[in-house]
Amino acid sequence: MRAIFAFLLFAAFTVSASAQVQKARSREELMLQVLQAALGDIQTARCGSDRCAPATAEEKKNPPLSLTETSQVFGRGLFSGGANICRLDWNKRNYAPMMAFWQKQKKNERQLALISIIHQIAMQQIQNQVGANCPDAMKKDVESKLDFKPRS
């Protein structure tokens, strides 16, 4: 079942935000598409007490997050999505500690908003791929990987 969940996670990498993200040829290309989709939706998020300003052309050329950071957040979002399907506390165990980690990394409000959007894109994608059914093996796999642990 672990192989099936891994396949579903990989299949989830054909993502959508508010617009369809096309199939990517590489993980790097996919993460760039996810990051661009998040930038396209940033005005829907909060930057402090106000809505974030729409992304500028310059920001789209030079995104405020790296592809490595995007990939890390996207991966955590997949686990949150799986946890949500399996009725596990993804917010307390994964999302909130992940956001606290990025705050400690001195990410600004705009970067934190992007991180949140990327996490949500991944959650939605795995939920679209898997549906509402949580087989025992999937629950066990998600349970074992859900708790956020910063990379050293």
pLDDT digits (tens, 9 = 90+) for 100-110: 999 999 999 99
CB 128 within 8 A of CB 67: no
| Closest C-alpha among 108, 121, 10, 6 to residue 59 | 108
**pLDDT given for residue 124 in this prediction:** 94
Q: Is the pLDDT assigned to residue 134 strictly greater than 50?
A: yes
The Cα-based distances of 121 to 1, 3, 24, 77, 94 in angstroms read: 24, 23, 15, 7, 15
Work out the average pLDDT over 49-65. Answer: 95
Higher pLDDT, 22 or 27: 27
Cα dihedral across residues 111, 89, 77, 85: positive or negative: negative
In whole angstroms, give the CA distance from residue 15 to residue 24: 9
In whole angstroms, give the CA distance from residue 110 to residue 55: 10
| Closest C-alpha among 13, 22, 33 to residue 81 | 13
CB 111 within 8 A of CB 102: yes
In whole angstroms, give the CA distance from residue 47 to residue 1: 40
Per-residue model confidence as pLDDT tens digits over 59-86: 999 999 999 999 999 999 999 999 999 9
The predicted model scores a pTM of 0.83
**pLDDT given for residue 26 in this prediction:** 84
**pLDDT given for residue 23 in this prediction:** 52
